[in-house]
Amino acid sequence: MKITEIKTFLMQAGSPKETAWSANGISSAGTRNWLFVKIYTDAGVTGLGECSGWPRVAEAAVRDLSHILVGEDPTHIERLWQRMHTALMGHGQSGVVGHGAMSGLDMALWDIKGKVLDTPVWNLLGGKVRERIRAYSHASTVENAMSLVARGYTAIKTGGVADPLGKLADLRAALGDEIDLMVDLHGPPWLTAPDAIALCRELEQFHPLFVEEPVAPEAVDAMRRVRDATSVPLAAGERLAGLYGARSLITDGLVDVIQPDTGRAGGLTPMKKIAALAEAHFVSMAPHAGTLGPVAEYAAVHLLAAIPNALILERFEDDWTGKQAVLSQPLECVGGHLLVPDRPGLGVDIDEAFIAAHPSVRNCRLPITEGAGAYAPGTEAEAVYFQSRQGRHHYFKRS
């Protein structure tokens, strides 16, 4: 069997109503893209994957990488992954765009292999450890959180740069001790180690399942200082690419939870390796899914079904309805848990007509310009990211 052709399917996706990456609950309208790829073979079997990591740019990367794969046997996944990775040497090799492109292609290779062997991808990854995947969703208000709990969710994440301490305190008071709560600080550069330490120490009293990105991902030294000064479990890794990107967070003991993004970490091949490296260091895995589209979510479910140290999967419960409409068969979520599909390969296809009806318009944006924590036009905060601590000192301590 040989790979004959690779096609890309780029679309404009709507925004979820409640987004963790918007500090005030206003969704990031009009900037979310999904990129799907299909690998075709001379045996008539096709594979489907999804690329995050700036999808519109990753589309060009997929086109550039295609000649590395065409003519090759799609079942030799590790070899093909290494060929793609080597081919990126001239382009920096380590970034999320290249790894985003490889993610979708790698995912599609696993899909083909599953179809050829008539077995689900989770079976290729080692077989099932669990029948369903626990998920958490996002809430910035008590009302939203209560609605999710009423639908069966037992884990809620809040956060943003606007008063994460206040939000977590409110959620804990309203939901009691049985619901797992997480807080994502999004690691802004103005959140320095001393501020992050003060904040994390205040968060300890609310017993979060984890505190995510307490400092900027580039500030590894600051992460160490936070780690040594607080007892809250720490999570990070969504903006890193590949096994090597995740390595030091795990091996240096900086996190309790590693959060690679299934669509931009390089695919299931490195995700499985990251999981194993994490397992060896008693770190659990909770893949990022902030911009994740529906096929990458499928891949994450297959992976988490097959690894022992799966903690939980991020999910936007109240996402854009197109997330289901674009799929031949949406994932089933019952009581806050995703059911593991049993069909061969990833077990899903895309609706190409639906994608064609939603062409990509725009794929990047400035941060929000309204409400608390905004980068309001005409203010000092507009372009001076580092000054955004102004007016936020009260976020670091409960008075």
3-class DSSP assignment, residue 288: strand
Residue placing its CB nearer to Mg ion in the complex, 219 or 348:
219
d(CA 193, CA 381): 21
Dihedral angle at the C-alpha atoms of 69, 70, 74, 80, nearest 10 degrees? Answer: -20
Min CB(187)–Mg ion separation in Å:
8
Q: Which of 99, 138, 186, 302 is catalytic?
A: 186
Q: Which two tokens stand for residue 294?
A: 């529906």
Residue nearest to Mg ion (CB): 184
- State which residue, 184 or 195, has the beta carbon closest to Mg ion: 184
CA–CA separation, 272 and 269 (whole Å): 6
Q: How far apart are the first and last CA of the chain?
A: 66
Task: Pull the structure tokens for residue 197.
Answer: 């330490």
Q: Which among 71, 12, 13, 61 is positioned nearest to 39, based on CA atoms?
A: 71
Taking alpha carbons only, the member of 162, 152, 148 closest to residue 316 is 148
Residue with Cβ nearer Mg ion (57 or 161): 161
Decide whether 111 or 184 has the Cβ nearer to Mg ion.
184
CB of 348 to Mg ion, least distance (A): 25
Provide, rounded to whole angstroms, the least separation between the CB of residue 217 and Mg ion.
10
Q: Count of CB atoms within 10 A of residue 12's CB? A: 19
Give me the least distance between CB of 123 and Mg ion, in Å please.
Answer: 30
CA distances from 376 to 27, 370, 381 (A): 16, 6, 7
Nearer to Mg ion, 126 or 189 (CB): 189
Query: Could you list the residues that contact Mg ion (CB under 5 A)?
Result: 184
Give least dist CB 16 to Mg ion, A.
14
Q: Is 393 a residue of the active site? A: no
Measured CA to CA in angstroms, residue 92 lies from 63, 89, 158, 289, 311 at distances of 17, 6, 34, 24, 32
358 catalytic per annotation: no
Catalytic residues, by residue number, are 186, 288
